[in-house]
Amino acid sequence: MINENALIIYKTKPAVVKERSGDKYLITLADGEKIKVREKDIEFLHPGPVSNPGAVMNQKINASVIREAWELLSGDNDARSPEKAAARALKDIALFIFNDYTPASAYFVYELLKDGLYFSGTIEAVTPRSREEVESGELKRGGKLRESDERGQFLKRLNAAYKKPAENKLSDGDARFMQDVEALARGRTQRSRTMKEMGLRETPEDAHSLLLKTGVWTRMVNPHPDRFGLSRNNPRCSDSERAALEEIKRGIPLSCSAENSGSRDPRRDLRRDLRHLAAFAIDSPWSGDPDDAVSIEETKDGKTILYVHVADPASVISFNSAAEKEARGRGCTLYLPEGAVRMLAEEYIPVFALGMSGTSAALTFKITAGDNAEITDTEIFPSLVNVTRLTYEEADRGMENNAEGFSPLCRLSDLAGRIYSRRAADGAVNIELPDVHITAVNDTVNIELVEKHRSSSLVKECMIAAGEGAGQWAASRGLAFPYISQEVEAAGKLPEGLAGSAQLRRCMRQRVLSVKPGRHEGLGIETYTQVTSPLRRYTDLLAHIQIYAYLRGEKPVPQDDITMCLGFGEAAVSAAVHAERASENHWKMVYLADKKDSLWDAAAIENKGRAWHVLIPSLALETQVALRGNITPNDKITLILKSVNIAKGEAELVAAT
């Protein structure tokens, strides 16, 4: 089914879908004419939204750039490759040529396909033509593209700019010849004619270096998300999703029933009214998507009850819906120093993030804690809560000063301490290493050491308890669920402090996602999952979808489907994690680039033979440095920054004498 405002092709011309009526679509042509057509008579081109189909016909680009893109995509840089180039979707061709996939770029590539000189095939499978076919076509049109002289002059300027960048610059028109270098630097191709002709290695790092030296790129270009194939754009909200969200924003239905409804309409699920409880969403000051809050209650019979209220997008997102599939493909929200790329459309945040305005809809995990903070019972239900948002610093200050209204946080902090003590007794591993918050805005990079807070430990333990309780709840009902387990290798005797934590980190094996529960040795928990971040973690959203299926009396998502989703989601998360780490390191190098000969306090971590593994806490930066003398783990040392290579992501530091 094609969505409204999508760009389609009707009789080789652009048109926009306005609505569906029965088995036909009402479409608008470029001249404004509206007609009804059958789906078999149209071709889907771009999801839009598009209001005027005529507007997509104005995309322009230099003809030599098109030919350059054809050469790269055909894999025919040396003009003698006998292999047939792989077919690609039209979307991939648009991204390659324009570095963006818009209705206009999609239609431009469709026009190239229709023209037939450089590409053939269908929208689903576009294939670059062979060199023989292209040259024959150019000759027939009376003018083969000749740019050897122009390119020769460009290469002379490029060599001069590469060898003496301070004295030589590329011309404004040279950027088109650097397109293949940019594509290589972003990991979108493995070949570059320009790099080859320059005698340089065809690697992303060397391409990045060339772009920086010649001024085509500035330091503020971060290519790492592209290298992992990640989108820089937030998901788009469909018309049906937007309508559902608008209905919720107009007023959340309230029922004070003590039990949940079996209604299949998610907007009419009965929600328990928990607005009498003090609920706190505690997070960093830069957080813009609070998705969990905590409350505590002591019953008359002496029981302690922890409430973890979680954002509730699963109340309107069903399995295999467009939003669920989009989240599955992304895996998580991508957090970059230059800004976040959401897992769910931006429109979900003001509706479901907790404490953004007035009453919030939540999925509440009600956890009863025993004398030793062990979980004796877990109940899950939709709720309504009034949430107070606090930063960690505000929460700490309120607890330390015994401020009015903060007594629930003090009791929560005490419970969190008991939860941690219980986990520690069961073998939980505690790793304490510095962390930094990096922002890259305009031409400025800031790095701020993240302070340790009493309230951050409170939140951490409450979230772990929610994951433990949810895991027990799902396992006791035999649900296929995104359970998380982890093994820890024997560490032996380790030093204290930073050195011990850094070495202990290597003992943590990669976590395992499975539909069957297993022990999480790192947390000291027998059954564990994650359920507290459905706005930014796909597996949390999937867990909520499965919970709702059970609460509504519907058929749960089958085990095979859960297994498939975990595989797709985890692959996406892995790419995002690697991209985030590479991006953070990139911005650290940019931050250090102008700080040659600056001094940095560091700690010795571990002897690596000829060098020591060291850690600079203020940057959360780890590297290797040659150290002389009698050095032991955790010794404080001073380092001097000698040089930075942004393209390689490396900083050279030496010990101060």
pLDDT per residue over 79-93, tens digit each?
444 456 778 889 989
389-400 b/e with 16+ CB inside 10 Å = b?
bbbbebbbebbe
Half-sphere exposure (Cβ direction) of 15: Cα atoms closer than 13 Å: 26
Residue 258: what pLDDT? 34
- Helix axis angle for 538-551 and 322-330, nearest 10°, is 140
Centroid of chain to Cα 187: 18
CA-nearest of 396, 420, 549 to 478 is 549
Residue 163: what pLDDT? 92
Give dist(CA 345, CA 242) in Å, integer.
10
Backbone Cα Rg of the chain: 29
Q: Write the CA distances from 343 to 213, 310, 482, integer angstroms.
A: 35, 16, 18
Centroid of chain to Cα 140: 48
Domains of the chain in start order, with CATH, are 7-41 (no CATH), 59-140 (1.10.10), 148-217 (1.10.10.10), 239-583 (no CATH), 593-655 (2.40.50.140)
CA-nearest of 72, 41, 340, 280 to 180 is 72
Strand positions, DSSP E, 450-557 = 483-485, 512-514
Average pLDDT, the chain: 90
Cβ contacts of 245 within 8 Å, gap of 6 or more: 237, 316, 347, 348, 351
Q: For residue 557, what are its two tokens?
A: 């998502």
Relative to beta strand 7-10, strand 636-645 is unpaired
Question: pLDDT per residue over 418-461, tens digit each?
Answer: 999 999 999 999 999 999 999 999 899 999 999 999 999 999 99
Residue 492: what pLDDT? 82
Give dist(CA 348, CA 361) in Å, integer.
12
The single residue listed with the structure tokens 């000969």 is 597
Cβ contacts of 630 within 8 Å, gap of 6 or more: none
Q: What pTM value is reported for the model?
A: 0.78
Cβ atoms within 10 A of the Cβ of 507, count? Answer: 17
Which residue ranges in the chain fall short of pLDDT 70? 76-84, 142-148, 251-269
Question: pLDDT per residue over 35-52, tens digit each?
Answer: 999 988 999 999 889 888
First to last CA, the chain: 70
As beta bridge partners, residue 382 has 363
H or E stretch covering 639: strand 636-645
DSSP 581-605: HHHHHHHHHHHHTT-TT-EEEEEEE
Residue 263: what pLDDT? 37
Contact 314, 545 (CB under 8 A): yes
Residue 76: what pLDDT? 52
- Amino acid found at 161: A
Residue 261: what pLDDT? 34
Query: Following CA atoms 246, 247, 251, 256 in sequence, which dihedral angle do they give, to the nearest 10 degrees?
Result: -140
Centroid of chain to Cα 539: 13
Q: What are phi and psi of 293, to 5 degrees?
A: -145, 160
DSSP 353-370: STTSSSEEEEEEEEEEE-
Interior CA angle at 28 toward 23 and 30, to 5°? 145
CA-nearest of 612, 657, 610, 619 to 638 is 657
Residue 576: what pLDDT? 97
H or E stretch covering 96: helix 90-98
CA-nearest of 194, 209, 206 to 151 is 194
Sign of CA dihedral 252, 254, 258, 264: negative
Residue 256: what pLDDT? 38
Contact 620, 435 (CB under 8 A): yes
Give dist(CA 531, CA 463) in Å, integer.
8
Contact 543, 530 (CB under 8 A): yes
Give dist(CA 234, CA 247) in Å, integer.
22
